[in-house]
Structure 1
Amino acid sequence: MLGGLAKSLFGSSNDRYVKSLGSIVNKIAGFEPTISAMSDEELASQTAKFRERLANGSKLDDLLPEAFATVREAAKRVLGQRHYDVQMIGGIVLHRGEIAEMRTGEGKTLVATLAVYLNALPGQGVHVITVNDYLAARDAEWMGRVYKFLGMTVGVIIPNLTDGQRREAYHSDITYGTNNEFGFDYLRDNMKYERTSMVQRPFAMAIVDEVDSVLIDEARTPLIISGPTDDKSDLYRSVDLVVKQLVPGDYEKDEKQKTIILTEDGTEKVERMLEAAGLLEGQNLYDFENTQVVHHLNQALRAIVMFKADTDYIVKDGKVIIIDEFTGRMMDGRRWSDGLHQAVEAKEGVEIEPENQTMASITFQNYFRMYPKLSGMTGTAATEAAEFFDIYKMNVVTIPTNVGVQRVDEEDEFYKDTADKFQAIAKKIKFHAEKGQPVLVGTVSIEKSELLSEFLVKEGVKHEVLNARQHEREAHIVAQAGRMSVVTIATNMAGRGTDIQLGGNLEFRINDELTDLEEGPERDAAIQRIKAEIENEKANVLAAGGLFVLGTERHESRRIDNQLRGRSGRQGDPGLSRFYLSLDDDLLRIFGPDTLFARMMRSNIGDGEAIGSKWLSKAIETAQKKVEARNYDIRKQVVEYDDVMNDQRKVVYEQRSDIMDAETVGDVVEDMRSETVNAIVGDACPPNSYPEQWDAEGLKAKLADMLNIDVPLDDWLKEEAVDPEMIEERVREAADAHVVQKASELDPETWIQVEKSILLQNLDHHWKEHLATLDALRQVVHLRAYAQKTPINEYKQEAFSLFQRMLDSIREDVTRTIAYAQFQMNDVPPPLPDLPDFITTHFDPFSGDDDTNDIDAGSGLITTRLPPLSIPLPSGAEIGEDPADWEGKVSRNAPCPCGSGRKYKHCHGAV
């Protein structure tokens, strides 16, 4: 109660924060008269002056008022648009690394220019992330005119660019692109063999458009680069035929968890069918030998029962293309992992493409938290504010609208079933369209869009359907959705990037209608005619009540509903919104109130009858909150698991970078060889044992296998003072001499290149295998909960052990490869290997980052410090006289610099 009173008197914390930014906005306004008086040349020269002030010690915050005023004036001259004061507040929020929540139509694209320009002044590059390639290219060209006017360079990252083009774009002051392109370029860079072939440079700042879509919705799944494995298409087809013979009584499905399992009878039935098809080893489906068949069976079950055509995917040109559940767009080139996509291809009878093995992966959480400064903007972020802060440490600031909102949001209407609901919707749409009001209809799937389209056809209502099938025309359809009596059915309105302007969009009409007209009086007259038509039509639409937004179903997330609603009532226009629901809707059916409520509803609502009440709307919102909380828990758990891999990824990628940058890697290879020798001798000659207890034959065989040397071990064992240390030293000398002899066959430059190539290839091979092992571990570690163990703790322990084992394998393989290498003399030194063929995908829950893994011991979670991949590379620095400075500069197996004659690890390097 007291909190409510304080809020009414002083405003919310958000209101107070926004109000506090007013003084900065006033400073910006104070520069306007001076900057407006500048010539174009003087205005453009501001950039050089700002950069000079930065070089002299000024901070970006010191430059902010004048820089923002400069951008405002440049936008006025170049675009004919002047930033409102509330847009200035949005720019300050973005500059501070926060999320600006601004309603649809408030000009977020223009707001970004303020923070982008200011943060591009240091010359380290600012990345602007959009949700699709169309918006990236459009904004780079549109807003790029402002930046170029002010003397900055602008690049855009879109698919099918060469490495040279990408490198040039990344080295621009400002780079536009999609989250996928930026993430995949990061992964590809960390698979390359030379620093000069990498395209990105160190990160500085990123501004994310539609930040909720990118950092929450799409962050459920990772970016994965993978390569093909063996073809198993016949197995997929055979299992698919078996599963298609099952009936609903043979399995149990859980739509909440999207899981499906066979019943006891179903298992017996499947075993008989698999046995008849020759796919079963023995008679028990769950014998170890049938692991692969069980995996394929589970994926075929999911594909056939849980995944629906035109909802989860469409079949186009003989290919299964995933539909993004949040935007309704086709996701060309994306494939589900773990054999699921192949199972869907078998189900649809199209060509089955081979499965892929993960070669590199990263989640958006991992990727975006690498930026020292990260900010974002969207129309709907407040409902997820807690997650933004927990995961990304970003505050959400709600920016007030420039003009008050006049939209009316009506209560939801409930119907008994989908047919009744769609019949009522079709009549409602017809009523509003006939009085001249434009109608935007939001559906949750292509299937529902096309079903509603059939009802509208029966009612004789002309309409457009905007979904994955219409992807190419989406901007044109959205741009004209505000014209009189226009009815637009949209699968989802998130991230469309094009405003719905009442009366129509001038720019699109000019492009569509006047493409054949040359510049001149005739074209100018036609433009004036179109402007007059739009103004007249806008007045009629306003008189009819503005845009009517109609939702055919509630989405799992309130944000998606709010995005749809936000399309109406932009910039103070009148508008109307209402959602129509039925008991058949997925949200009500799966997550809604209990079955008693459903039975009461069914028995009390007649055919075609509707009810509406605040209580029912509240119940729906409660269901949505439950789903949001559940999805957040899932994402948070995924982050915890991937934090482990992310720490390991950073170690591997940093080591790759060090190897590429080092002038020579001879010391690294020598240290690996020394440690391999230590391990071999240590296994055969355990400490505190007698020579007669040593495994001499095993040691000799291991040395021959690993180091390709034959040592007189029998003679050494006859000596009186023989000990493991002596054998270690002599073996290492022999191994070093063997490699030195090999190196002498090549010139020094070529030998360095050979060593680097061997190191990088072994590192990449073992990292790829390690990723596959971790993925398998993550899928089964939850079973340890049955043994009263915490799965995340078990995963951390196992992953740490696996990583250490991987390091040992790398060390041994590098040593063996160099010991056995054969060289053929050519005039040209051998080139570094090309990157393997791979495909890029983005799917499967899998997330994490660097700092949230540092949890204190009191929480019960295990924290482990990763070992270095190898002994640090030589930095070129001189070793001083102070033993405290020798750590990390002297090899553990090298003689101690103090001159004692003992190894460093047994002298000043002793732990």
Structure 2
Amino acid sequence: MLGMGKIAKKVFGTPNDRKVKATRPLVAKVNALEPDFEKLSDEEIIAKTNELSERAQGGESLDDLLPEAFANCREAARRALGLRAFDVQLLGGIFLHQGNISEMKTGEGKTLVATFPAYLNALMGKGVHVVTVNDYLARRDAEWMGKVFGALGMTTGVVYPNQPDGEKREAYACDVTYATNNELGFDYLRDNMKSDLREMSQRDHFFAIVDEVDSILIDEARTPLIISGPAQDRSDLYVAIDKFIPELSEGHYSVDEKTKNVTFTDEGNEFLEEHLSARGLLPEGQSLYDPESTTLVHHVNQGLRAHKLFTRDKDYIVRDGEVVLIDEFTGRMMAGRRLSEGLHQAIEAKEDCNIRPENVTLAQVTFQNYFRLYDKLAGMTGTAVTEAEEFAQIYGLGVVEVPTNRPIARQDEDDAVYRTAREKYEAVVETIKEASGKGQPILVGTTSIEKSEFLADLLTNAGVKHSVLNARQHEQEAQIVADAGKLGAVTIATNMAGRGTDIKLGGNVEFKVLEAIANNPEGDHEAIRKEIEQAHNSDEEAVKAAGGLFVLATERHESRRIDNQLRGRSGRQGDPGRSAFFLSLEDDLMRIFGSERLDKVLSTLGMKEGEAIVHPWVNKSLERAQAKVEGRNFDIRKQLLKFDDVMNDQRKVIFSQRREIMEAEDLSEIAQDMRHDVISDLIEQYMPPKSYADQWDTEGLYAACIEKLSLDVPVIEWANEEGVDDDDIRERLEKEGDEAMAKKAVAFGPESMRMIEKQILLQTIDSKWREHLLTLEHLRSVVGFRGYAQRDPLNEYKNESFQLFESMLDGLREEVTTTLSRVRPMSEEEQKQMAMEMAAQQQQLQQAAQTSAEPSVVSNPENAKDGFDENDTITWGNPGRNEPCPCGSGKKFKHCHGRLA
């Protein structure tokens, strides 16, 4: 019998069905206009864009313009690419325009879908950003879809790493800009480190369409984007700590795999104190519980985490002596990405790699807060429904499942659960041999590099020919994926094969054509293409007859989404296909989150060696475990966001303040207000309200006026005058300060004075903000312990960070006032020297902002210190910042290798 809920759905349809049904009439309107737009010439299509743009900017709503805009875009795409968008693609485009996530299965043409809402919204003239997961896709899509936008009379730009500034500004000025999430976030931060409006790259944050939206807005949401500069080198400390971590026994610490955390036991703390003291790392008489030991305890914890929670070839690989992180969701290498708070250095010490110094944060933002800057946001992916609640709560995005163009013909089998991993892998190898024997292509999903290579060894021993796709072979990714659909192909892959790749049955025609032309460049290219297309058609039919692509997963992931992505590689555009999951009770998910009851059930059933349990109930049980994990991960991200929101509010204030300063022509009033505030604070400090004249500290006030205002004024005499109160002295000081600055403005010239005020304000804001970020990082790392005192860590963080922000603003006013009061016109020689130093400082900031660019320093080996090795900071010794650099260049250390240390 059907349940009540199922009966109701049959009668009324699901909410998703109703959304799709309500949007069908709009698609019908676009289709009705098609014959009219087919008659337009190429010039008339461009003229139509200009007309629609004028109407949009004249106040007509984009919703009213949608049918005409979509009809114009469909016709342009048909002419430019030979692709006529299906009705379901128009549906997806409409949902994107409405600010939703369109869930569309693999092979449904999401790249083309994005052009419709991008074109419609670009009519407003504010620019649209299309966001992709990697630079290759950003360039490919910009070039491919740029033909459509070109046919419509619109400009297309692409943003990529280390792009020249002028080219980057041009790309952002285009109607539609393709970029990765990383570049967009970093450019936002870089823009807010610039000191001139003309140097800023990004325009408005008007509308963004995020491809693979679940990967960007959920999987990567926990990792903030950080622009950092070099800090003090502590490599000796990491090495010293790493040496005794292996000496710890299991009774010294506890590992929580669920929360990915490690903690020392009381016994462990005693062991630490003893060993750290013996090695001279913990000063004599100092305890681990003393405040002075915080940094040391932090680094010991990171060393333990590096050893117990981070596994080589699963979480990272070592390549050319460097620790490169692996994205747990895509299986791809994350070159240039480093773990913060000393954890990356701890892993480098563990792997005996060159330890690169930690960095200090210059600016940071999370993807969650960056993408919430946009007036309107939309996204596309093949898998979003399982995370619908998070999308709605965090980003206000609805999720709509768009029907497929053709019905899905893939067979999804129930999970097969084995007692042990050995039995599971034996069954996997047998199944692969059987399927490839009849010519069926197989994609085998694994969760780590280590497991993909373990399975590859098993297949080699079994005599099965195969390809392996993981972060080690990422250069051959396109070729391996192109061949994965060929007759009898066996491809072992990590999650890399689950994203942004289409596996076509019979192989990829374009790859075959390019390969044949490369081998025979003099041949008739058209004839080569025809011959390959004919051969491909027969290959495709043979693969379909063998059952289509077989996706065989060897483990379930923590997230149902990742499993669905892997399944989605098979059965594209109505192709036949098959998917199956082979599991064991020794798998990580089953071991950590699976119920013990399942093991008891399997034991009770008296399963024989090599037997598996296959039942829909097992699937449901596993999905419930996955849903629990997803829920817990969502809670973690939600909590992180609450903390980041506190910083985000402050970041918005600082960034908007910077922008106002850059836009302002005259800042003398702001400088004057700051000076008057500082004077008020000094009066309050040295002449407290409601105090008597004999209680005033006039000598302290006199000294403070010289130090902070550069004013040598007779405040002691003023205070002794009959009938003078604190307000009189405040007014006199304000008048003296204003007159001194007015004289300075005359000496410098009004234009130079305005420029000096602007530069001092911006530089002081930047340095204070950097200090504030570091303080917040430290506060964040200790505030969690307040929970033990029954105090809410989040509220504590909010209150304390607000107080810190206020004290930062007070310090900002004081520093700007002091710096401006000390500025004096310089001699020509001094001006030249300062210009050189400012240029060097600006260059240093730009180098820090270009995250992957390493500053280059020219050393002179003849004069270098004995044993100096440019790549090994230990050989540099410990020179002072103003001492000659040990490389022999003749420069001061701070202007040479000290910039890199």
Task: Identify whether the pair has TM-score above 0.5, normalized to the shorter chain.
Answer: yes
Paired residues for 1:417-496 under 5 Å: 417-493=420-496, 496=499
Alignment partners' CA distance in 1, 2:757 and 2:522: 63
Q: Which of 760, 782, 785 is the aligned partner of 1:783?
A: 785
> 1:738 and 1:59, CA in 2 relative to 1: closer, same or farther beyond 3 A?
same
What is the identity, as a one-letter code, of the residue corresponding to 1:513?
A: A
CA RMSD of aligned residues (A): 1.8
Contact in 1 for aligned 2:418/2:424 (Cα 8 Å): yes
From 608, 611, 628, the equivalent of 2:610 is 608
Does residue 1:102 correspond to 2:104, yes or no?
yes
> Which residue is 2:842 aligned to?
834
Partner of 1:389: 392
Q: 1:841 to 1:441 in 2, by over 3 A?
A: farther
**Alignment partner, residue 79 of structure 1:** 81
- The aligned amino acid for 2:404 is T
Paired with 1:432 and 1:796, the residues of 2 have a C-alpha distance of 59
**Offset of residue 839 of structure 1:** 5.8
Deviates more, 1:150-159 or 1:609-618: 609-618
Q: Aligned pair in 2 of structure 1 residues 696, 56: CA closer, same or farther (>3 Å)?
A: closer
Quick one: which of 564, 571, 574 aligns to 2:573? 571
State the distance in 2 between where 1:240 and 1:718 align.
66
Partner of 1:581: 583
Query: What's the offset of the Cα at 1:792?
Result: 1.4
CA distance in structure 1 between the aligned counterparts of 2:776 and 2:112, rounded to whole angstroms: 44
Counterpart among 110, 130, 133 of residue 131 in structure 1: 133
Preserved contact between residue 442 and residue 489 of structure 1 (Cα < 8 Å): yes
Confirm whether residue 376 of structure 1 aligns to residue 384 of structure 2: no
Answer yes or no: is 1:280 the counterpart of 2:282.
yes
2:351 equivalent to 1:343? no
1:833-875 superposed Cα distances (whole Å, 9 cap, x missing partner): 5161326779xxxxxxxxxxxxxxxxxxxxxxxxxxxxxxxxx
Q: Tell me what 1:63 maps to.
A: 65
- Structure 1 regions of 5+ residues with no counterpart? 843-911
Aligned with 2:197 (options 195, 198, 203): 195
Change (3 A) 1:568 1:709: same
1:330 maps to 333
> Is the 8 Å Cα contact of residues 119 and 205 (structure 1) preserved in structure 2?
yes
CA shift, 1:737, in A, is 2.7
2:387 is the alignment partner of 1:409: no
Quick check: 1:416–1:606 contact (8 Å CA) kept in 2? no
* Greater relative contact order (CA < 8 Å, ≥ 6 in sequence): 1
**Counterpart check, 1:598 vs 2:608:** no
Which residue of 339, 362, 382 maps to 2:365? 362
Q: CA deviation at 1:34?
A: 1.4
Amino acid at match of 1:563: Q
Q: Which moved more, 1:812-821 or 1:371-380?
A: 812-821
The 10-residue stretch of structure 1 (690-699 or 709-718) with the greater mean CA deviation from structure 2: 709-718
Report the alpha carbon displacement of residue 476 of structure 1 after superposing the two structures with TM.
1.9
Aligned CA distance change for structure 1 residues 777 and 814 (closer, same or farther; 3 Å): same
Query: 1: CA distance between counterparts of 2:622 and 2:827?
Result: 75
Q: Quote the sequence identity (%).
A: 55
Aligned equivalent of 2:662, options 637, 660, 663: 660
Aligned to 2:163: 161
Q: Structure 1 stretch 742-751 or stretch 60-69: which is displaced more?
A: 742-751
Cα distance in structure 1, aligned partners of 2:645 and 2:762:
24
Deviation, structure 1 residue 517: 4.1
Unaligned runs of 5+ in 2: 853-901
Q: 1:841–1:324: structure 2 CA closer, same or farther, 3 Å change rule? A: farther
Show CA shifts across 1:797-835 (max 9, x none): 111111100000000111111122244244889567516
Q: 1:787 to 1:276 in 2, by over 3 A?
A: closer
Q: Would you say the 8 A contact 1:415–1:605 is kept in 2? A: no
Task: Report Cα offsets for 1:197-223 as digits up to 9, x if no partner.
Answer: 111111111000011111111112111
Q: Secondary structure at the match of 2:759?
A: helix
CA contact (8 A) 1:102 1:399 kept: yes
1:741 Cα shift?
3.1
Cα 1:64–1:580 change in 2 (3 A) is same
In the TM superposition, what is the alpha-carbon distance from 1:495 to its structure 2 partner? 6.2
**Cα displacement (A) at 1:738:** 2.8
Match of 1:882 in 2: none
Shift in Å, 1:135: 0.7
Deviation at 1:2, TM superposition (A): 4.6
Secondary structure of 1:122's counterpart equals: coil
TM-score by length of 2: 0.91
- Residue 44 of structure 2 is matched in structure 1 by 42
Q: Which amino acid aligns with 2:472?
A: R
Are the counterparts in 2 of residues 334 and 840 from structure 1 also a CA contact under 8 Å? no
Amino acid paired to 1:369: R
Q: Are the structure 2 counterparts of residues 264 and 54 from structure 1 closer, same or farther at C-alpha, using a change threshold of 3 Å?
A: closer
CA deviations on 1:617-662 (whole Å, 9 max, x unpaired) are: 2111110000000001111111111111111110000000000010
- Structure 1 CA distance, aligned partners of 2:83 and 2:522? 23
Out of 297, 301, 304, the position equivalent to 1:301 is: 304
TM-score (norm 1): 0.90
Does residue 267 (structure 1) correspond to residue 275 (structure 2)? The answer is no
Cα pair 1:442 1:493 within 8 Å, conserved: no
Deviations 1:771-805 (A, max 9, x none): 11112112222222222222211111111111100
Q: Contact between 1:494 and 1:563, CA under 8 Å: does it hold in 2? A: no
The residue type paired with residue 842 of structure 2 is D
Hey, what's the Cα distance between the residues in 1 that align with 2:403 and 2:452?
Answer: 34
Deviations 1:347-402 (A, max 9, x none): 11111101011111111111111111110111111111111111111110110111
2:135 aligned with 1:145, yes or no?
Answer: no
Moved more, 227-236 or 505-514: 505-514
**Partner AA of 1:761 in structure 2:** Q
- Residues in 2 aligned to 1:188 and 1:507: alpha-carbon distance in whole angstroms: 39
Runs of 4+ in 1 over 6 A off after TM superposition: none
Distance 2:777 2:241 in 1: 24
Residue 739 (structure 1) shift: 2.7
Which residue does 2:237 correspond to in 1? 235
Whether the 8 Å contact between 1:224 and 1:840 is mirrored in structure 2 is: no
Per-residue deviation, 1:43:
2.6
- Select 2:548's aligned residue among 524, 533, 546: 546
**One of 512, 536, 539 as aligned partner of 2:538:** 536
From 801, 805, 808, give the equivalent of 1:806: 808
Amino acid at match of 2:75: E
Residue 52 (structure 1) shift? 2.9
Q: Is the 8 A contact 1:281 1:289 kept in 2?
A: no
Contact 2:699 2:716 in 1 (8 A): no
Distance 2:812 2:319 in 1: 44
Residues 334 and 841 of structure 1 are in contact (CA less than 8 Å); yes or no, is this contact kept in structure 2?
Answer: no
Aligned AA (2:250): P
Structure 1 residue aligned with 2:27, among 22, 25, 39? 25
The alignment partner of 1:408 has SS state of strand
Give 1:285 deviation, angstroms: 2.7
Q: Structure 1's 305 and 491: CA in aligned 2 closer, same or farther, altered over 3 A?
A: same
Distance 1:278 1:536 in 2: 74
Displacement of 1:272: 2.5
Please give the alpha-carbon distance, in whole angstroms, between the structure 1 residues aligned to 2:781 and 2:416: 42
* 1:632 aligned to which of 620, 631, 634: 634
Distance 2:520 2:74 in 1: 33
Cα distance change, pair 783–494 in 1 and its aligned pair in 2 (3 A): farther
User: Per the alignment, in what secondary structure is the counterpart of residue 834 of structure 1?
Assistant: helix
What is the total number of aligned residue pairs between the two structures? Answer: 840
**Counterpart contact for 2:332–2:496, Cα < 8 Å:** no
CA contact (8 A) 2:667 2:758 kept: yes
Shift of 1:46: 2.2
Matching residue's letter, 1:40: D
Q: Tell me the SS of whatever aligns to 2:380.
A: strand
Moved more, 496-505 or 316-325: 496-505
Paired letter, 1:334: R
The letter of the residue matching 2:137 is L
Secondary structure of the 1:21 match is helix
- Structure 1 letter corresponding to 2:279: A
Give distance in 1, aligned partners of 2:411 and 2:762: 62
Instruction: Quote the residue 1:289 is aligned against.
Output: 292
Distance 2:171 2:713 in 1: 57
